[in-house]
């Protein structure tokens, strides 16, 4: 059987591997870690909208209580950021969040979130993995108490205070993709005054026969609904609502890179500070920062690195091209619920399409995308080692000016475009990312990137 391993964001697997027995082993490892490190405060166990998630959460709660910890268990499935905020808001030891995020229904997973509400860094998750063992619980009379709570109102109040949005003139279409954002993100937008039209906001453990991934193809119905209702904005969350995707009246699906740029530009109108972005995220952020006398911190892919750098640099915003963002004054965990409210605030001040048009006019066009190449996890390190010996002198007719090895190999080209090849942290694939000034140029870059890596797999 496959080993339990914490990847980019916790342990995630198909249900033939992600079993109750093994979930309890993870709970045992976390409880042991907390005991070793001297934590005594309660813990919270959250879960998403998957059919199996409440049962796994109850098993984890039992293990934690069986080690003497008081446990808070939400009354319903909740977004991951709501659970992460509850840790800080209530002074808890940690959270365990049962979710497979955007993966299809045959998956589940568990995230460990430490006391600061930010994603756990490897030094912590490695200690947890080292503690994996069969449960060894206290006598029942020494168990902690399990209490049901509703953590959603506290998060909503904090988000409202932080963003301060008046959305009374906006019509927004919200698409939960049958995930845990339903009744949470839409309710937050309504509380700020928006007229909200909902799509896929019923609970469906099969996610309508698809997966709760806010990809362009999955959100065409949202874009159509924005047009149909003459709405100002379309907003979607992934399955556990830690990521956001946007559709606009003019563009339809709005590239997350452009959304990141628009939000940073908006925040800089009334505040200052650097931005943190992953190595796979647009250089448009750098251009906006430079125009405002600010810095940009580049980090490896994975919000744990974004969160760490946000704390180190007191960043105004941090984000990734995959749709995960957070801002100063909030927990350093990606939050698609908070960002939905912020997207509304940006739009209320100026339509997103107008703001993006102005940014591209000032800083130049950007086109970004990625492709995947199948590669077994066991082969990823070997392929990257081989790739180091095959870095070309030029790509698509432009010389390689520099190679960044922060996370895989990022080739910076003399014409300002770039190509990145790195291993996926969640799937048996290599990712090929690119950014250029035109779509035609981008596709050529991606073609050459795939051609470069495929023979090595």
Tell me which DSSP letter residue 417 carries. Answer: -
Residues forming the active site: 101
CA distance 86 to 92: 8
Tell me which DSSP letter residue 154 carries. Answer: H
CA distance 108 to 231: 34
Would you say 430 and 383 are in contact if contact means Cβ atoms under 8 Å apart?
A: yes
Other CB atoms within a 10 A radius of the CB of residue 389 amount to 7
The residue length of the chain stands at 457
β 146-149/43-47 pair status? unpaired
Place of tokens 């760490």: 308
Would you say 425 and 8 are in contact if contact means Cβ atoms under 8 Å apart?
A: yes
**What ranges in 334-375 are assigned the alpha helix state H?**
336-349, 352-363
CA distance 449 to 306: 25
- B/e letters for 215-245, b = 16+ CB within 10 Å, e = fewer, are eeebbebbbebbeeeebbbbbbbbbbbbbbb
CA distance 327 to 128: 28
CA distance 120 to 199: 33
Tell me which DSSP letter residue 429 carries. Answer: E
CA distance 399 to 129: 43
Structure tokens at 254: 């709005």
Write out the H or E segment, with its range, that includes residue 34: helix 20-37
CA distance 77 to 49: 6
């Amino acid at each position: 059987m496959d080993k339990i391993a914490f990847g980019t964001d916790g342990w995630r697997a198909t249900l033939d591997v992600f079993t109750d027995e093994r979930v309890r082993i993870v709970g045992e490892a976390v409880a042991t870690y907390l005991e070793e490190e001297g934590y005594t405060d309660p813990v919270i166990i959250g879960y998403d909208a998957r059919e199996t998630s409440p049962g796994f959460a109850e098993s984890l709660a039992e293990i934690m209580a069986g080690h003497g910890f008081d446990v808070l268990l939400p009354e319903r499935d909740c977004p991951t950021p709501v659970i992460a905020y509850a840790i800080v808001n209530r002074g808890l030891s940690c959270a365990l969040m049962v979710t497979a995020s955007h993966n299809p229904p045959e998956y589940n997973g568990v995230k460990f979130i430490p006391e600061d509400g930010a994603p756990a860094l490897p030094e912590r998750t490695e200690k947890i993995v080292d503690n994996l063992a069969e449960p060894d619980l206290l006598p029942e009379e020494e168990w902690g108490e399990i209490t049901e709570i509703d953590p959603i109102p506290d998060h909503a109040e904090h988000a409202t205070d932080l963003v301060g949005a008046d959305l009374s003139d906006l019509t927004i279409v919200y698409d939960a993709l049958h995930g845990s954002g339903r009744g949470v993100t839409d309710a937050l937008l309504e509380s700020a005054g928006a007229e909200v039209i909902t799509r896929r906001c019923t609970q469906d453990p099969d996610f309508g026969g698809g997966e709760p991934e806010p990809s362009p193809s999955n959100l065409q119905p949202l874009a159509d609904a924005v047009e149909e209702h003459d709405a100002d904005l379309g907003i979607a969350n992934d399955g556990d609502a830690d990521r956001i995707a946007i559709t606009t009246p003019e563009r339809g699906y709005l590239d997350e890179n452009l959304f990141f740029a628009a939000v940073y530009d908006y925040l800089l109108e009334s505040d200052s500070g650097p931005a943190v972005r992953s190595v796979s995220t647009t250089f448009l952020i750098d251009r906006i920062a430079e125009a405002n006398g600010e810095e940009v911190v580049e980090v490896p892919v994975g919000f744990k690195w974004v969160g760490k750098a946000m704390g180190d640099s007191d960043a105004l915003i941090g984000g990734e091209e995959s749709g995960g963002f957070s801002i100063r004054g909030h927990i350093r965990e990606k939050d698609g619920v908070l960002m939905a409210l912020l997207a509304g605030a940006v739009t209320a001040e100026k339509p997103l399409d107008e703001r993006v048009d102005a940014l591209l006019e000032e800083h130049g066009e950007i086109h970004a995308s990625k492709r995947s190449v199948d590669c077994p996890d066991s082969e990823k390190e070997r392929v990257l080692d081989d790739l180091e010996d095959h870095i070309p002198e030029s790509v698509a007719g432009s010389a390689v000016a520099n190679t960044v090895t922060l996370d895989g190999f990022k080739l910076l080209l003399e014409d300002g475009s770039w190509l990145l090849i790195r291993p996926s942290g969640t799937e048996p694939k290599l990712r090929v990312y690119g950014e250029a000034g035109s779509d035609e140029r981008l596709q050529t870059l991606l073609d050459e990137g795939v051609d470069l890596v495929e023979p090595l797999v």
